[in-house]
Amino acid sequence: MIPAAFDYERADNAEHALSLLAEHGDEAKLLAGGHSLIPLMKYRLAVPSVLIDIGRIGDLSYVNDGGDALHIGALTRHRDVETNELVRSEAPLLARATSSVGDPQVRHRGTIGGSLAHGDPASDLPSVLLAMRGSVIVTGPSGSRELAADEFFTGFLETAVGPDEMVTEIRIPKAPGAGWSFQKFNRRAQDWAIVGCSVLVDGDTCGVGLVNMDIRPVRASAVEAAVASGADAASAAESAAEGSDPTSDLNASAEYRQHLARVLTKRALEEAGKSSA
Amino acid sequence: MVSYRVIGQPTPRTDGTEKVTGAARYTADVQLPGTLRAKALRSPLPYARIIRIDTARARELPGVHAVLTGADVRGVLYGKSYRDATVLAQERVRFIGEQVAAVAAVDEETAQRAVDLIQVEYEELPAVLDPLGALREDAPILHPEMNSYAGLPRPLEKPSNAFSREVREKGDVETGFAQADLVVENTFTMARVHQGYLEPHSCLVWIDQQDRVQVWASNKAPHSLKQGLAVALGIPPEQVCVNPVVIGGDFGGKGAIWDEPLCYFLALRTGRPVKMVMDYAEELTAANPRHPAEVRVTTGVKRDGTIVTCDIEGYFNTGAYAAFVPLGFLPGPRHAVGPYRIPDARVRAYHVYTNKVPAGHMRGPGEPQAIFAMESHVDVIARTLGLDPAEVRLRNVIREGDANALGELYHDLHGAETIEAALEASGYHAPPPAPDGPVRYGRGVAIGERAPGGGQTHAAVTFRPDGSVVVHTSIFDQGSGTYTTIRQMAADVLGMSPERIDVEVWDTPETGFDSGAGASRNSRMASEAVHEAARAARGALFALAAELQGWPQDRIALEDTVLRRTDTGERAELSSLLARARAPVTGSADFDDTTHAHVTAFTVQVAEVAVDTETGQVRLLRFTSVHDAGRVLNPMGHEGQVRGGAMQGIGFGLMEELAIADGRVTTPSFADYKVPSMADIPQMQAIAIESDGGIGPFNIKGIGENPVSPAAPAIANAIEDAVGVRITDLPITAERVYRALRAKNP
């Protein structure tokens, strides 16, 4: 339960963090809220030799109105996202999903950027990014680039963020009148989802993001296509597990997860249909 | 009913403030100069021969004071009753997590680094992981030398992995089957679960200048620890002193000898105090969880629901060592016959060695497993016969004058009354809510019965010169609120306000043997001893008043700070009288009755659930727990016991499983091992039905273990009521319910 020895650097701002990353290279890990990284280090599943603490960079914590999209600083705590009026009115799906992350203590420490950069298929927020077709601003030595949600999650706990880059901002397209639903299936309250589902229905377009249905956060493309071609919720949801490859573990078998994906997607589509303006 | 002054008043805990402010001193907080920290290297294999251990690099690490292996502690065996545990593995390891070598170093990190430097070469052996496999002819015998261990419950003709076969019998079950209209048989399984106390096992051992072994330990049975250590170490018991500390939860997991022998040998080697604190990954992988079990229930019944015979066969997976099993076997399987009037009954319980983490017990040794089986089974009987499950229980439950299925006779039986009260309070007979989309609703009832265990304890009540009082007890309160009730008891007898009474705990050399917290015995033992000691102290005080004031001894009353002569109304300040005393004004008493009480207590619980037929998810909506309580000493403490116990029963029923794959615990943290959070606990009613038929001067009944066991079967019964499927395996996960629904409606 004691992490391996590591050096600690505190970054004063994003440029400083990037220069520390350049200096330490692959040996370094960025520390934001610490709610994903520290447990891995305690079990020695992650053994970085340097931790670069970006948790005190104040100017990466914000929610701004960017016109068509909300611009959310990578170090904005879950609690600040969950309670932000702009998020609640323009992206209620994000507010709702964020309110189900961990418990209040976790939400006061954990950050939106840290959660997405961890790339965990069992996390709730990637499914929102996929369903709302958001993007991630990644900053490196040669400047910033914008990655669409579909490009961002590349593998098990892997993202398209390079070793010399960091996530600096999340962009969520506004969807004020859209129908939405967040479904989370737990073994107990306040826990990781066994399976989860984020749905956004905006006119003819529909986004469906799944939690814990593959080695990386995935979109239920077949469901989206079925909805676009006019299928009702029940028949569209039939294809929710299509192409998925969920794990079998202590909480659920893969087969049961696929069943849950279909049930939760159906419920999410129905609920989103009702809330659609 | 009898009227008491302080007994029965809601009383906040005497130790509440110090616990919530962090002032309470637990074992890990005890600091002695020069203390070393110890860590152990644990086996990575379920069953293996140790070929070689290389400790050279660990010994060379700066800050390391000692490294011990099995060779340094050869021949030392310990255990609660049956002594088969070694301090460090001897030639073989028998489970993943077994301690193979240990380091004492200047701090925990250095000790851990040194542990990481120890190299062990193993020859892996084929492991036996389940009890039925362990009983096969060709299975390796894990303890071939078992007949030489002290405390084996009964010697065996030849060594067997089934080290204990307990049979309890009344009449002849075959006679009963011949008379039955119907034979109903079911097999149930229950998962291994951890007690989940907040404070992990910890101990500090120091051999002082007088060669006394000073022990601080997270242990609720200090006198058993003292005696067990003395026997294991071959030293006189009076050389061991177990010092009082605050204990951070127990639930049955903190009554065994733990790392104290290992710390003793490290202290002996280094000449320093040695402290060892498990981390929670160690707790979940290598402490003493509740036994997983498989229990088969076969009953013969009449068409009207009368149970005429009951045959129980249970297999309890003890794991690699039985040192943590209370009597060398679990006493609880006998509860599998239920609190029913059954003419012929038999219980056969097998405790079996396997290459898994050694099991102990949790809040009712063997009872939750037994009661889940029988109380689920009773509902199957009722549904098979088309009868109401509550009616079948009312038909069979023992009433005043009835012996139970095993011939035990208890008094003050309120079983039927408790069932009726629970049905009423829970709205059991009201129609369940109408189906809501895929959701169906149902209710289930289950009952349990338990009498407090016996034991030995000591108490003294002493007036201080300032008129305040100190009660000395030999009980170490493990968190159940005993100190608070002791204070109430003394206040009640003396006629003083509880605020003027302090409770102090004797360390082990100051008193004779105390049985320790457990078996729901604390209130029984304490109420007898404290009541008698307080009466004796009051007698001594009145004798003093008679002598100094010239009052007749039978005309005196104590009214908090004042003594009053009842016939004249004359008054004297307690403190000024005590200031003139030439000898301590005190009284003491011992309680010594090791037999089980002959007064038992019923628990009836009703669960109301919502089952999602599409996912199998079970939501517990309401939970009602009704207790035949005798007189409640402290309603706040009583309700706390009920709510906490029910919550543990709910966790056992719905989510907890200390899972093992290939011998390795796969739930080594509370992220993986699911204990219910407050958000999982439904609207809960805790109801006490009081009577004056309880035990001792305050008419008590036990409550410590009682609220745990019926919860899981009540939930299983409610699920069948809602959706018509019977879940026989714990925990009742959503996937299990979903699969059962699919099997029923393909």
Please answer yes or no on whether B679 and A256 come within 8 Å at the CB atom: no
Please answer yes or no on whether A189 and B677 come within 8 Å at the CB atom: yes
Q: How many CB atoms lie within 10 A of CB B317?
A: 23
Structure confidence at residue B746 (pLDDT): 85
Average pLDDT over residues B448-454: 95
Query: Confidence band (pLDDT; 50, 70, 90) for B35?
Result: very high
In a domain, A260, yes or no: yes
- Give per-residue pLDDT as tens, B208-257: 999 999 999 999 999 999 999 999 999 999 999 999 999 999 999 999 99
Structure confidence at residue A151 (pLDDT): 97
Q: Is the pLDDT assigned to residue A124 strictly greater than 90? A: yes
Percent of chain B residues past pLDDT 70, beyond the cut: 100
Contact B519, B452 (CB under 8 A): yes
In a domain, A30, yes or no: yes
Query: Confidence band (pLDDT; 50, 70, 90) for A93?
Result: very high
DSSP structure class, residue B151: T
Structure confidence at residue A43 (pLDDT): 83
In a domain, A219, yes or no: yes
**Looking at chain B from residue 713 to 742, which residues have their Cβ under 8 Å from any Cβ of chain A?**
733-735, 738-739
Coil, strand or helix at B355: coil
Mean pLDDT, chain B, as a whole number?
97
Burial class of residue B167 (count of CB atoms within 10 Å of its CB; 0-12, 13-18, 19+)? exposed
- Flag whether residue B561 sits within 8 Å of chain A, measured between CB atoms: no
| pTM (two decimals) | 0.97
Give the sign of the dihedral formed by CA A66, CA A67, CA A69, CA A70: positive
**Nearest-CA residue of chain B relative to A261?**
B615
Average pLDDT over residues A244-268: 97
Please answer yes or no on whether A189 and B672 come within 8 Å at the CB atom: no
Query: Confidence band (pLDDT; 50, 70, 90) for A25?
Result: confident
In a domain, A129, yes or no: yes
Distance of residue B742 Cα from the nearest chain A Cα, in angstroms: 11
Please answer yes or no on whether B674 and A253 come within 8 Å at the CB atom: no
What is the residue range of A235's domain? 179-276
In a domain, A1, yes or no: no
**Contact residues on chain A for B112, CB-CB shorter than 8 A:** 2
- Flag whether residue B684 sits within 8 Å of chain A, measured between CB atoms: no
When mean pLDDT is compared across A34-38, B79-83, B695-699, the lowest value belongs to A34-38
**Do A134 and A158 reside in the same domain of the chain?**
yes
In chain B, what's the furthest Cα-to-Cα distance?
Answer: 90
**Do A48 and A74 reside in the same domain of the chain?**
no
Could you tell me which residues are beta bridge partners of residue B446?
A: B605
Residue by residue, DSSP assigns B466-509 as TS-EEEEES----SSSHHHHHHHHHHHHHT--GGGEEEEE--GG
**Contact residues on chain B for A262, CB-CB shorter than 8 A:** none
**Nearest-CA residue of chain A relative to B678?**
A189
Please answer yes or no on whether A252 and B735 come within 8 Å at the CB atom: yes
The token pair at B47 is 């069953």
**Do A13 and A47 reside in the same domain of the chain?**
yes
Domains and CATH numbers, chain B: 27-125+198-249+254-286 (3.90.1170.50), 293-451+597-744 (3.30.365.10), 453-593 (3.30.365.10)
Q: Is the pLDDT assigned to residue B690 strictly greater than 70? A: yes
In the listed set A173, A199, A231, which residue is the last one of a domain according to the structure? A173
In a domain, A92, yes or no: yes
| Confidence check on the interface: ipTM exceeds 0.90, yes or no | yes
**Do A75 and A112 reside in the same domain of the chain?**
yes
**Do A162 and A266 reside in the same domain of the chain?**
no
Domain of A252, CATH number, reads 3.30.390.50
**Counting every residue, how long is chain A?**
277
**Do A33 and A136 reside in the same domain of the chain?**
no
Structure confidence at residue B139 (pLDDT): 96
Could you tell me which residues are beta bridge partners of residue B41?
A: B101
**Contact residues on chain A for B676, CB-CB shorter than 8 A:** 188
Please answer yes or no on whether B735 and A263 come within 8 Å at the CB atom: no
Residue A82 φ/ψ, nearest 5 degrees:
-60, -35
Which residue in B281, B617, B667 is closest to A250 by CB distance?
B667
- Which among A45, A197, A256, A267 is the top mutation candidate for probing chain B, defined by the most B β-carbons within 10 Å of its own β-carbon? A256
**Do A161 and A212 reside in the same domain of the chain?**
no
Structure confidence at residue B399 (pLDDT): 97
- Flag whether residue B466 sits within 8 Å of chain A, measured between CB atoms: no
- Give per-residue pLDDT as tens, B477-495: 999 999 999 999 999 999 9
**Do A186 and A123 reside in the same domain of the chain?**
no
Which residue in A2, A43, A256 is closest to B109 by CB distance?
A2
Please answer yes or no on whether B667 and A253 come within 8 Å at the CB atom: no
In a domain, A272, yes or no: yes
**Do A191 and A152 reside in the same domain of the chain?**
no
- Flag whether residue B674 sits within 8 Å of chain A, measured between CB atoms: yes
- Give per-residue pLDDT as tens, A73-84: 999 999 999 999
Q: Is the pLDDT assigned to residue B73 strictly greater than 80? A: yes
Which residue in B279, B666, B680 is closest to A1 by CB distance?
B279
Distances (CA, A) of A115 to A33, A54, B519: 9, 14, 47
**Do A122 and A164 reside in the same domain of the chain?**
yes
In a domain, A112, yes or no: yes
Domain of A151, CATH number, reads 3.30.465.10
- Flag whether residue B615 sits within 8 Å of chain A, measured between CB atoms: yes
- Give per-residue pLDDT as tens, B317-357: 999 999 999 999 999 999 999 999 999 999 999 999 999 99
Q: Is the pLDDT assigned to residue A1 strictly greater than 80? A: no
Given its phi and psi angles, is residue A128 left (phi above 0), alpha (psi -120 to 50 degrees) or beta? alpha
Which residue in A2, A190, A191 is closest to B112 by CB distance?
A2
How many separate domains does chain A show? 3
In the listed set A113, A138, A173, which residue is the last one of a domain according to the structure? A173
Which residue in B615, B669, B680 is closest to A263 by CB distance?
B615
The Cα–Cα gap between A271 and B714 comes to: 33
**Contact residues on chain A for B739, CB-CB shorter than 8 A:** 256
The Cα–Cα gap between B353 and B134 comes to: 7
In the listed set A143, A173, A203, which residue is the last one of a domain according to the structure? A173
- Flag whether residue B676 sits within 8 Å of chain A, measured between CB atoms: yes
Structure confidence at residue B1 (pLDDT): 87
The token pair at B735 is 């996937």
- Flag whether residue B614 sits within 8 Å of chain A, measured between CB atoms: yes
Query: Confidence band (pLDDT; 50, 70, 90) for A26?
Result: confident
Distance of residue A238 Cα from the nearest chain B Cα, in angstroms: 14
Contact B635, B617 (CB under 8 A): no
**Do A69 and A86 reside in the same domain of the chain?**
yes
At residue A214, what is the residue type? D
**Do A138 and A190 reside in the same domain of the chain?**
no
Structure confidence at residue A277 (pLDDT): 58
